[in-house]
């Protein structure tokens, strides 16, 4: 039996799949990732991108932060791809219990997934830092300069910046899902950003599958590894 046949069999047998993903899940929708050759972090800006999307920078230079955020991190108008759609179908069929994602684009929900744990937040949720009023992503996209609520407060995207903590509830629910999974599929992530990457250590089974174009630090821990395009593999499951 080759690797793909084995994965096909595991998926057939599973009743409790958990999918853990990153930016590579959305590249086939047209949204660039961070660390591939054509990723966001390989482009040249006035400051290193990791610095721009840090809390300190956001506080000190919100004008620049929002210009960068709007142009590079606010992916509006993109559609789910085959991976998002297959995962939504598995959930509907009762085979998949959760998607844990580092992505902020909302494409899993757009494809129909219900149980999605967004470790790094979502561009679709934006709140006034003064009165807590909700604002849409379009509001932030179209605001001139720093987006401001009618009350005058800055509207901040519910996206985890560097130096900020992750939502504790989301972490706990992700850990619960991962530790109860019969099959854990980790895909489209370089597994270099913590604490997110460390969550896969909570998996207790023996069906850990890694699908990623580039190598990752966790390749040797996986039971099956595919260095291929995610869509290519998922479309055959």
Q: Is 27 exposed, middle or buried (0-12, 13-18, 19+ CB in 10 A)?
A: buried
Positions 203 through 222 that interact with ligand OAD (CB under 6 A): 212-214
At 27, give phi and psi (nearest 5°).
Answer: -60, -35
Q: How many CB atoms lie within 10 A of CB 142?
A: 10
Cα separation, 234 vs 209, whole angstroms: 12
- Span of 9-17, 25-33, 64-72, 134-142 interacting with ligand OAD by CB under 6 A: 25-33
Positions 105 through 124 that interact with ligand OAD (CB under 6 A): 120
Q: DSSP state, 141?
A: H
Cβ distance to ligand OAD smaller for residue 67 or 180 = 67
Q: Which string of x and - marks every residue 156-195 that binds ligand OAD (by CB under 6 A)? A: ----x---------------------------xxx-xx--
Catalytic-labelled residue, pool 55, 84, 108, 120: 120
**124 and 106 Cβ atoms separated by less than 8 Å:** yes
Report the nearest approach of ligand OAD to the CB of residue 7 (Å): 14
Among 14, 97, 102, 122, the residue binding ligand OAD under the rule CB under 6 A is 102
- The maximal CA–CA distance of the chain, rounded, in angstroms, is 63
**156 and 127 Cβ atoms separated by less than 8 Å:** yes
The residues that are catalytic are: 120
Binding site for ligand OAD (CB under 6 A): 22-24, 27-28, 33-36, 39, 53, 102, 120, 160, 188-190, 192-193, 212-214, 229-230
């Amino acid at each position: 039996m080759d690797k793909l046949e084995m994965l096909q069999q595991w998926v057939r047998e599973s009743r409790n799949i958990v999918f853990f993903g990153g930016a590579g899940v959305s590249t086939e929708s047209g949204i660039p990732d961070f660390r591939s050759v054509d990723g966001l972090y390989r482009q040249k800006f006035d400051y290193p991108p990791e610095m721009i999307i840090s809390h300190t920078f956001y506080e000190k230079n919100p004008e620049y932060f929002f210009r960068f955020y709007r142009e590079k991190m606010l992916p509006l108008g993109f559609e789910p791809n085959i991976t998002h759609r297959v995962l939504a179908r598995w959930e509907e069929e009762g085979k998949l219990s959760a998607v844990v994602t580092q992505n902020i684009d909302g494409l899993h929900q757009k494809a129909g997934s219900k149980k999605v744990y967004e470790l790094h937040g979502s561009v679709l949720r934006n709140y006034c830092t003064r009165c807590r009023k909700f604002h849409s992503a379009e509001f932030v996209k179209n605001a001139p300069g720093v987006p401001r609520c009618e009350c005058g407060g800055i509207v901040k995207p519910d996206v985890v910046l560097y130096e900020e903590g992750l939502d504790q509830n989301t972490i706990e629910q992700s850990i619960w899902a991962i530790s109860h999974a019969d099959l854990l599929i980790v895909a489209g992530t370089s597994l270099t950003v913590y604490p997110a990457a460390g969550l896969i250590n909570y998996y207790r089974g023996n069906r850990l599958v890694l699908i990623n174009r580039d190598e990752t630090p966790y390749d040797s821990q996986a039971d099956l590894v595919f260095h291929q395009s995610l869509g290519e593999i998922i479309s055959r499951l």
